[in-house]
Amino acid sequence: MNPQLTLDDIKQMTLQDGEDWAVAHALRLLELIRQIGQDLPYDAHALELAIYLHDWGAFPCYTQKGIDHALRSRQVAEAEILPHMDLEDRVKQVILEAIELHDYRDMRPTSSNEALLLREADMLEFLGVIGIGRDFARGPKNLEACYRRVLARQDAIQGRFSLPTAQEIAQQRLERMDQCLRWLEEESFGIL
């Protein structure tokens, strides 16, 4: 591995290893963070690195059975990526925390603004029309199973936002989501 990796290298590796969804997901998170983090100080470079690295544990080349993708992403970043980057130890720790705590199922509090922003942006990505689209894209080819997963994730996420702008975006996305799900039920004649 190259002894000095850059953000551009990480972006390219994400594109190469992350299937087709990873870079688009990262770009949407960057835009969400721009919106929800306006009044919050954070290290933009560290956060961008965390954004591109946070789902690597879900990539086929890094996933390990029985290890949660967030923890596996942290392991990969800590062992294989960050040692090859010119970053202060403090910045590396911020990146690792943001990666490990990004998943909405992780109830541990964050200690950095970077981790808070990544978690709240990632949760927003599961709401609204984009959230529905993402869940149905994952499959299986069973509408009812995907529909149930959307509802479960919606229930687990709503009410979890602490940043005011994230709360506003979440409310708007939840309303859109509810309307789309009503249309889905109607058009499936309740059969799904």
Handedness of CA 71, 141, 27, 4 (dihedral sign): positive
User: What are the pLDDT digits (tens) for 100-121?
Assistant: 999 999 999 999 999 999 999 9
- The pLDDT value given to residue 19: 81
Instruction: Considering only residues 91 and 1, tell me which one the structure prediction assigns the higher pLDDT.
Output: 91
* Structural domain count of the chain: 2
Q: What is the mean pLDDT of residues 61-77?
A: 97
- The pLDDT value given to residue 50: 98
Task: Give Cα separations from 74 to 9, 25, 39, 48, 93 (angstroms).
Answer: 18, 18, 27, 15, 10
pLDDT at 31 over 90: yes
Query: In percent, how much of the chain has pLDDT > 90?
Result: 96
pLDDT at 2 over 70: no
Question: Is position 120 within any domain?
Answer: no
68, 143: one domain: no
CA–CA gap between residue 46 and residue 44 (Å, rounded): 6
101, 136: one domain: no
Can you give the residue range of the structural domain that contains 33? Answer: 1-106
User: What are the pLDDT digits (tens) for 137-176?
Assistant: 999 999 999 999 999 999 999 999 999 999 999 999 999 9
Q: What is the mean pLDDT of residues 67-91?
A: 97
Q: What is the mean pLDDT of residues 110-134?
A: 97
176, 90: one domain: no
Query: In percent, how much of the chain has pLDDT > 70?
Result: 98
User: What are the pLDDT digits (tens) for 81-94?
Assistant: 999 999 999 999 99
94, 158: one domain: no
Q: Which of 106, 135, 157 is the last residue of a domain?
A: 106
